[in-house]
Amino acid sequence: MGQPSVDTIWDWLDQVPDPEIPVISLVDLGIIRDVKWEGDTLKVAVTPTYSGCPATSVINFDIETALRDRGIEKLTLTQQLSPPWTTDWLSEKGRAKLEEYGIAPPSPKGEPDRCPNCGGHNLERTSQFGSTPCKALWRCRDCLEPFDYFKCI
Amino acid sequence: MADNALFQFLLRMGDNSLILGHRVSEWCGHSPVLEEDIALANTALDLIGQTQFWLGLAGEVEGKGRSADDLAFLRDAWDYRNVLLCELPNGDFGQTLMRQFLYDAWASVMMGRLMTSSDERVAAIAAKASKEVAYHVERSGDTVVGLGDGTEESHARMQAALDYLWPYVGEMFDSDEVDAAMVKAGIAPDPASLREEYDALVGKVLGQATLTIPTDTFHHKGGRTGYMHTEHLGHLLCTMQWLQRAYPGATW
């Protein structure tokens, strides 16, 4: 087997789900910063979402498993801190999938644009933090449903 | 010598976030309401995550092969370099949030300055941490205002918390030869130079919270230099380091 192209590797990584929000991929999340071949070694640079995100080690494990399963033998994963991760790097596909799943995607104004359940705009924040470091808790006053909001950073 | 000063500086940064992060994690499962429990646990998680970066770099700079975990779990109280404020007991919920605000305000100013550090590793950690810190200070500041300008009971508790904690604020702005070496190398600012910005931020929030800053300028010290910690740190380490003390070298 010849060396798979970098584009192929990106496609493979786009099939690896985020361990905590499995509807989006690691590529959608914007945490894969670089993929390149150095000789016969594949180098993948990953940036953490939040410093203490417990998913970080699971993510590295999932990347390694996905690539090894497809025959990549020499692999180096590096942690890239700078520039720090921002929700601007979420893909359009990822944002749409989040909303479909019931999580309001990040918005530059610092609050959700609309309720992911009914589309209502009458919203209130119930907590600045949520079930994972990247989310906050909100509630829709129209349909009365609570929902997660993906924090904009 | 320059590397030793950088090592000390990194220990101070990492120990602050580690010890405060551990303190805040003590609330897990005990907070007054579920949302606050989640918020405190997430704050603790951010702080401990930042610790991994600071202490990881400290171990690298020291060059003796010590990891962030080694530094966290295999040092005793006298080798810790956090400011005393971070190791003080949680007290009630209001005291915990007041301590958090007094620290977050300092961290928000400090991270902003460190983002332009001449050491790009320090700048990268600060850039990462500053986003989290900005979120923390918004929350702790809002809560201090909500409780300070709240009921008679909550106001009295927040004023008592401020009176207790204020004498520990000054240590964050002390300078010594480690700081002088950091300033000279362009790695970190003189802590004293953060005070004006800090006082403006803290003064504004505490004013909105209808709280009165004590006028006595005495402050406790000894944490960041390691000269003398409070008794509380040893008790904290007994819990945090229990596993490594009971089973030395145990790995996951």
What residue ranges do the domains of chain A occupy?
6-85, 89-150
Q: Name which of B34-38, B119-123, B125-129 the model is least confident about.
A: B34-38
> B221: which 2 tokens?
């010290």
Average pLDDT over residues B216-240: 96
Average pLDDT over residues A2-25: 94
DSSP code, position A123 = E
pLDDT 10s digits, A96-135 = 999 999 999 999 888 999 999 999 999 999 888 888 888 9
> B219: which 2 tokens?
């402050």
Q: What is the mean pLDDT of chain B?
A: 96
Q: In this complex, is the C-beta atom of A152 within 8 Å of any C-beta atom belonging to chain B?
A: no
pLDDT at residue A151 above 70?
Answer: yes
pLDDT 10s digits, A24-62 = 999 999 999 999 999 999 999 999 999 988 888 899 999
Q: Which residues of B touch A130 (CB under 8 A)?
A: 38
Q: Which residues of B touch A131 (CB under 8 A)?
A: 38
DSSP string, B164-213: HHGGGTGGGG---HHHHHHHHTTSS--GGGGHHHHHHHHHHHHHHTT---
In DSSP terms, A77 is beta-bridged to A44
Q: In this complex, is the C-beta atom of B52 within 8 Å of any C-beta atom belonging to chain A?
A: yes
Q: What was the pLDDT predicted at B2?
A: 62
CB contact under 8 A, B35 and A137: yes
CB contact under 8 A, B53 and A151: no
Q: Which residue has the tokens 């958090």?
A: B100
CB contact under 8 A, B127 and A82: yes
Q: Number of A:B CB contacts under 8 A?
A: 67
Q: How confident is the model at residue A2 (pLDDT cuts 50, 70, 90)?
A: confident
Q: In this complex, is the C-beta atom of B7 within 8 Å of any C-beta atom belonging to chain A?
A: no
pLDDT at residue B102 above 60?
Answer: yes
Q: Name the pTM for this structure.
A: 0.94
Q: In this complex, is the C-beta atom of A135 within 8 Å of any C-beta atom belonging to chain B?
A: no
Of the two residues A108 and B147, the one the predictor is more confident about is B147
CB contact under 8 A, B39 and A131: no
Q: What was the pLDDT predicted at A1?
A: 60
pLDDT at residue A66 above 70?
Answer: yes
Q: In this complex, is the C-beta atom of B49 within 8 Å of any C-beta atom belonging to chain A?
A: yes
CA distance B219 to chain A (A): 32
Phi/psi of residue A148, nearest 5 degrees? -90, 145
**CATH number belonging to domain B2-246:** 1.20.1260.10
pLDDT at residue B1 above 60?
Answer: no
Of B49, B123, B135, the CB nearest to A53: B49
DSSP string, A95-108: HHHHHHHTEEPP-T
Question: For residue B250, how many C-alpha atoms fall within 13 Å in the half-sphere facing its CB?
Answer: 10
Q: Which residue of A has its CA nearest to B54?
A: A51
Question: For residue B126, how many C-alpha atoms fall within 13 Å in the half-sphere facing its CB?
Answer: 22
Q: In this complex, is the C-beta atom of B132 within 8 Å of any C-beta atom belonging to chain A?
A: yes
Of B36, B128, B138, the CB nearest to A81: B128
Question: For residue A107, how many C-alpha atoms fall within 13 Å in the half-sphere facing its CB?
Answer: 13
Average pLDDT over residues B124-145: 96
Q: Does domain A6-85 have CATH number 3.40.390.10?
A: no
CA distance B116 to chain A (A): 13
> B177: which 2 tokens?
């030869």
Q: What was the pLDDT predicted at A53?
A: 85
Q: Could you tell me the end-to-end alpha-carbon distance of chain B, in angstroms, rounded to an integer?
A: 35
Q: Which residue has the tokens 């809560």?
A: B143
Q: Where are the domains of chain B?
A: 2-246
Q: What was the pLDDT predicted at A83?
A: 94
